[in-house]
Amino acid sequence: MLIRNKTKKEKGGEQYVHKGVIRLKRIVPFIILLFLLAGIVSGCQKELPKPETEPKIVSMDLSSYFHAEIVPVYNQNLKEIPSLFIQHEIKGNQVLVECIVNGVSFRESDHSKQKIGKMIVWVDGKKYSEVTSAAFIIKGLSPGGHKLKLEVVKLNNEPYGLTKEFIVNIPR
């Protein structure tokens, strides 16, 4: 079916256009958009290229490069060398202390190969208490600066040589 369509290009002139052509002009932008979306979706897949060659593990003989003797860093048969790490937090007039002590146990019932000991807490050069746990609270400190010293000792108070000193400032 043909319809009459007046255009601005032709002043006063008439042009005959088929209805299907008008519908096609409206649909074309949607078809183009559909093809673009299909191309984007199909291009965003997880297709990774395959490697051209397989990786190879090659062992190297380093004895020709190094002439030093190889010494093991850690031997499980030897007793662990004790070490001390301290973390503290101030809450009001209290100091919360957490300790990591490697190589020393605070449990007298521990019959493993570890050394057994306790910790002596010093506040401003005076003995405050003896502690047998890795986490404890130092209470009742007056406002101001205080020098704290934690010393890991054997049960008979013989030092292991593990001490940490730090200063805390208790707010007013």
- For the chain, the distance separating the N- and C-terminal CA atoms, rounded to the nearest angstrom, is 96
Q: Global pTM?
A: 0.52
- How do the domains of the chain map onto residue ranges? 2-43, 83-170
Question: Domain 83-170 sits in which CATH superfamily?
Answer: Immunoglobulins (2.60.40.10)
What are the angstrom distances between the C-alpha of 35 and each of 25, 38, 42, 116?
Answer: 16, 5, 11, 77
Phi/psi-derived region of residue 15, left when phi > 0, alpha when psi is between -120 and 50, beta in every other case: beta
Q: Is 105 exposed, middle or buried (0-12, 13-18, 19+ CB in 10 A)?
A: middle
Give residue-wise pLDDT tens across range 16-73.
556 666 677 778 888 888 888 777 766 656 666 666 665 555 555 544 444 444 444 4
7-43 residues labelled b (16+ CB within 10 A) or e (exposed) = eeeeeeeeeeeeeeeeeeeeeeeeeeeeeeeeeeeee
Q: Can you give the length of the chain in residues? A: 172
Higher pLDDT, 55 or 75: 55
Integer Cα distance of 113 and 142 in angstroms: 41
Give residue-wise pLDDT tens across range 79-123.
557 788 899 999 998 999 998 888 888 887 766 667 888 999 999
Q: Given a cut of 70, is residue 151 above it in pLDDT?
A: yes
CB 21 within 8 A of CB 2: no
The single-letter DSSP state of residue 125 is T
CB 118 within 8 A of CB 124: no
What is the radius of gyration, based on Cα positions, of the chain? 41
Rounded to an integer, the average pLDDT of 128-136 is: 91
pLDDT value at residue 113: 62
